[in-house]
């Protein structure tokens, strides 16, 4: 699936200008092509068995109206914090459609998740211990409650369900395992090296993992996430493969000892990389799924038929869903010419593009230039361009040495492929107003305001 072309972006931007949606104060605007986004979503569904739960990573794009759209289309969420869990609940996601993944869950947060019946991926054995205690506590207090009701009604024993304990058991509980597959090309988004702050390392703790499953009947899921951008298809598939082998081993042990195959949920995480350059062929979801089927065939045995698969497959894609359908347009406020280099001062920098500004080697985008009316400028100026953000530190340079046509004040710089992990990482440094976010359908036939540009009240609320 390809990137949005400069021509398509220009035409959507012109339509937004014509409709008065880019106002004077909108020095920068973020756009989402919602038709493209929904195409991605249905393509994702078509690649996996129909019973798969696709928990889209909230951290990639927490826009409420976009999340609502994905909910209507039958998607769940992957939440990395209690804030994300509660946002999803607030937007009407059912608890069983929420996968809660934080590596630093407090006892209160675990209690809440268990009471609600939210899907949990535990990060480590200490967390497992907390959950075990919590379930025991819930069962005890529910039993006492049940006995109280029975006594009040003068009945010896009634079939009153143990509400939260039952829900706790339904709260599909899994454990995150680091398959130790190695790091991808971007260190800070690789989480399956020999060391990772996330999960239980498979090679170092295999026996403890087996014991954990044997000793805790409620532990019924496995979870992994190899990385977010920079990891090859082979790495991703092999990461799943290593856990799959362990799952087969544990399930045959629990079958022999307990009469059931205990692991019923397998969460492969997210991580499919996207292409930030139209000239670079992206990894196709279809090819990824083929590699997974090859390495872990029975995970997909229910393909097209929910009931025939014993394993509930869960995915947690973020970047692959949201990045390519989004782009950002910033007005050029000033132009500077220095010997050998030009600078375009624009209205987004490290506030919107934290990763890009702090690691200019690994996080790159394509850029285009539109004139003040949104028409595409072509050609190349004699000198290269730095795209400098508005913040008060010298590292606030979004891109260095970019080839662009001659830039003029009042033009617009387009930063391509900005739909994932940009606005969600917004920084408050220098108290800039977060930009307006527009969504559109059918190449700009209709628009919707996904989020309004911030005003003074937002800044005051944040700092007060």
Ligand X SMILES: Cc1ncc(COP(=O)(O)O)c(C=O)c1O
For residues 412 to 451, the per-residue mask of contacts with ligand X, x marking binding by CB under 6 A and - elsewhere, is: ----------------------------------------
What's the CA gap between 8 and 356, in Å, rounded? 24
Name the minimum Å distance from CB 228 to ligand X.
3
For residues 215 to 254, the per-residue mask of contacts with ligand X, x marking binding by CB under 6 A and - elsewhere, is: ----------x--xx-------------------------
271 binds ligand X (CB under 6 A): yes
Q: Which one of the spans 106-114, 265-273, 386-394, 425-433 is the region binding ligand X (CB under 6 A)? A: 265-273
Candidates 318, 389, 390, 435; binder of ligand X (CB under 6 A) is: 318
Please tell me the number of Cα atoms within 13 Å of 1 on its side-chain side.
23
Is-contact 203 180, C-beta < 8 A? yes
Which residue's Cβ lies closest to ligand X? Answer: 270
Name the minimum Å distance from CB 120 to ligand X.
13
What token pair was written down for 227? 């990385």
Name the minimum Å distance from CB 457 to ligand X.
32
Q: Which one of the spans 32-40, 282-290, 315-323, 332-340 is the region binding ligand X (CB under 6 A)? A: 315-323
What's the CA gap between 176 and 284, in Å, rounded? 26
What's the CA gap between 46 and 85, in Å, rounded? 26
Output the CA torsion sign for 213, 217, 219, 221.
positive
33 binds ligand X (CB under 6 A): no
What residue spans of 337-386 are helical by DSSP H?
354-358
3-state SS, residue 29: strand
What's the CA gap between 63 and 326, in Å, rounded? 12
Name the minimum Å distance from CB 98 to ligand X.
13
Name the minimum Å distance from CB 225 to ligand X.
4
For residue 42, the tally of other CB atoms under 10 A from its CB is: 10
What's the CA gap between 259 and 430, in Å, rounded? 61
Name the minimum Å distance from CB 268 to ligand X.
9
316 binds ligand X (CB under 6 A): yes
**Closest to 325 in 3D by CA, of 230, 440, 423:** 440
For residue 69, the tally of other CB atoms under 10 A from its CB is: 19
Question: Is 244 or 320 the residue whose CB approaches ligand X more closely?
Answer: 320
For residue 304, the tally of other CB atoms under 10 A from its CB is: 10
Q: Which one of the spans 5-13, 268-276, 349-357, 389-397 is the region binding ligand X (CB under 6 A)? A: 268-276
Q: Which one of the spans 30-38, 269-277, 343-351, 427-435 is the region binding ligand X (CB under 6 A)? A: 269-277
Decide the pairing of beta strands 28-33 and 326-338: antiparallel
Candidates 75, 213, 300, 320; binder of ligand X (CB under 6 A) is: 320
Write the secondary structure of 384-426 as one string of H (helix), E (strand) and C (coil).
EEEEECCCCCCCCEEEEEECCCCCCCCCEEEECCCCCCCHHHC
Total residues at the site for ligand X (CB under 6 A)? 15
The number of residues making up the chain comes to 464
**Closest to 237 in 3D by CA, of 289, 297, 194, 314:** 289
Q: Which one of the spans 11-19, 44-52, 208-216, 312-320 is the region binding ligand X (CB under 6 A)? A: 312-320
Question: Is 60 or 332 the residue whose CB approaches ligand X more closely?
Answer: 60
Candidates 9, 21, 53, 57; binder of ligand X (CB under 6 A) is: 57
Question: Is 101 or 411 the residue whose CB approaches ligand X more closely?
Answer: 101
Question: Is 224 or 398 the residue whose CB approaches ligand X more closely?
Answer: 224
Judged by CB under 6 A, the chain residues 176 through 205 that form the site for ligand X are none
Output the CA torsion sign for 5, 426, 320, 58.
negative
60 binds ligand X (CB under 6 A): yes
Decide the pairing of beta strands 436-441 and 446-451: antiparallel
Name the minimum Å distance from CB 178 to ligand X.
11
What is the helix (H) or strand (E) element at residue 293, kind and residue range? helix 285-295
Question: Is 27 or 323 the residue whose CB approaches ligand X more closely?
Answer: 323
**Concatenated DSSP letters for 34-54?**
HHHHHHHHHHHHHHS-TT-EE
Name the minimum Å distance from CB 188 to ligand X.
10
What's the CA gap between 413 and 371, in Å, rounded? 9
Question: Is 172 or 330 the residue whose CB approaches ligand X more closely?
Answer: 172
What's the CA gap between 431 and 433, in Å, rounded? 6
Please tell me the number of Cα atoms within 13 Å of 131 on its side-chain side.
29
For residues 81 to 120, the per-residue mask of contacts with ligand X, x marking binding by CB under 6 A and - elsewhere, is: --------------------x-------------------
Question: Is 105 or 319 the residue whose CB approaches ligand X more closely?
Answer: 319
Question: Is 236 or 346 the residue whose CB approaches ligand X more closely?
Answer: 236
The residues of the shown chain that bind ligand X, judged by CB under 6 A, are 57, 60, 78, 101, 225, 228-229, 269-271, 316-320
């Amino acid at each position: 699936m390809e990137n949005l072309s400069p021509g398509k972006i220009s035409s959507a931007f012109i339509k937004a200008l014509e409709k008065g949606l880019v106002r004077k104060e909108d020095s920068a605007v973020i756009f989402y092509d919602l038709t493209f986004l929904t195409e991605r979503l249905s393509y994702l569904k078509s690649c996996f068995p129909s019973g798969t739960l696709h928990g889209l990573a909230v951290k990639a794009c927490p826009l409420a109206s976009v999340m609502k759209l994905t909910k209507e289309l039958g998607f769940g969420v992957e939440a990395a914090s209690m804030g994300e869990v509660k946002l999803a609940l607030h937007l009407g996601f059912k608890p069983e459609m929420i996968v809660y993944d934080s590596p630093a869950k407090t006892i209160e947060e675990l209690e809440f998740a268990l009471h609600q019946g939210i899907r949990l991926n535990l990060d480590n054995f200490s967390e497992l211990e907390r959950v075990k205690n919590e379930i025991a506590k819930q069962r005890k207090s529910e039993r006492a409650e049940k006995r109280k009701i029975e006594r009040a009604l003068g009945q010896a024993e009634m079939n009153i369900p143990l509400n939260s304990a039952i829900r706790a058991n339904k709260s599909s509980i899994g454990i995150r395992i680091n398959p130790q597959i190695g790091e991808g090309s971007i260190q800070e988004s690789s989480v399956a090296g020999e060391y990772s702050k996330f999960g239980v390392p498979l090679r170092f703790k295999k026996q403890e993992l087996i014991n954990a499953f044997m000793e805790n009947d409620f532990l019924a899921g496995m979870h992994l996430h190899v990385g977010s951008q920079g990891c090859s298809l082979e790495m991703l598939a092999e990461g799943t493969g290593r856990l799959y082998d362990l799952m087969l081993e544990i399930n045959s042990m629990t079958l022999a000892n307990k009469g059931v195959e205990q692991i019923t949920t397998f969460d492969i995480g997210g991580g499919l990389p996207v292409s930030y350059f139209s000239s670079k062929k992206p990894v196709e979801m279809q090819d990824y799924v083929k590699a997974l089927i090859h390495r872990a065939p029975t995970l997909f045995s229910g393909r097209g038929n929910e009931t025939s698969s014993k394993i509930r497959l869960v995915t947690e894609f973020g970047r692959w869903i949201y990045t390519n359908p989004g782009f950002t347009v910033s007005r050029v406020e000033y132009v500077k010419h220095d010997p050998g280099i030009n600078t375009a001062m624009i209205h987004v920098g490290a506030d919107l593009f934290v990763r890009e500004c702090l690691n200019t080697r690994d996080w790159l985008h394509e850029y285009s230039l539109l004139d003040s009316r949104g028409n595409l400028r072509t050609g190349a100026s004699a000198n290269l361009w730095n795209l400098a953000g508005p913040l008060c530190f010298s590292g606030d340079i979004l891109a260095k040495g970019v080839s662009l046509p001659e830039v003029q004040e009042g033009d617009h710089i387009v930063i391509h492929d900005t739909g994932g992990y940009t606005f969600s990482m917004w920084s408050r440094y220098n108290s800039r107003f977060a930009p307006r976010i527009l969504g559109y359908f059918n190449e700009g036939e209709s628009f919707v305001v996904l989020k309004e540009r911030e005003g003074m009240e937002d800044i005051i609320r944040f700092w007060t």
